[in-house]
Amino acid sequence: MPQFIPLFSEQEIKNQIKTIGQQISFDYKTKDLVLVGVLKGSVIFLADLTRQISIDHEIDLVGASSYEGTSSTGQIVFTKQPDLALEGRDILLVEDIVDTGNTLFKIIEFMKLLDPRSIKICSLIDKHERREVKIDVEYSCFSLEKGFIVGYGLDYNEKYRNLPAIYDLKL
């Protein structure tokens, strides 16, 4: 039976997203901001983040996956490409978690082909335990060294995304 060890409460998450949203609003006030959420995990974070950004911006989605269970497969599969024209625009990739960095690295490589003015990263969780490639996360709500976490969009085999807080999952 799985155990859920609390890491970040619903209120802590809400407070961090508000702070990050204010910083993004300030940093991008003269930019052409497009939030590009990485499916599926970022959806809940993206929805709450967009409401905390006070400047005009657009939202798009990209789908990529590399996980089975608790392990990265190392193979990146694109499941959805952006719909908006991104040329000359300021892209903020919104991710639930940056772990190995491999998926995000491939997404960034792809996004560069669309010729945006800038690409930066906003992640709910910046986790360092298994980082394999150098990824600069400009905006992060929380930083972790290790653990397999679920809740608030983060899943284990598509389960537990609906939990309102973030937990370390022990199987």
Cis peptide, bond prior to residue 29, ω within 30 of zero: no
Q: How far apart are CA 119 and CA 116, in angstroms?
A: 7
Cβ distance 103 to 64 under 8 Å?
yes
Active site residue 99: yes
Q: How far apart are CA 15 and CA 26, in angstroms?
A: 17
φ/ψ (deg, to 5) at 107 = -65, -45
Annotated catalytic residue, options 99, 126, 155, 168:
99
The residues annotated as belonging to the active site are 99
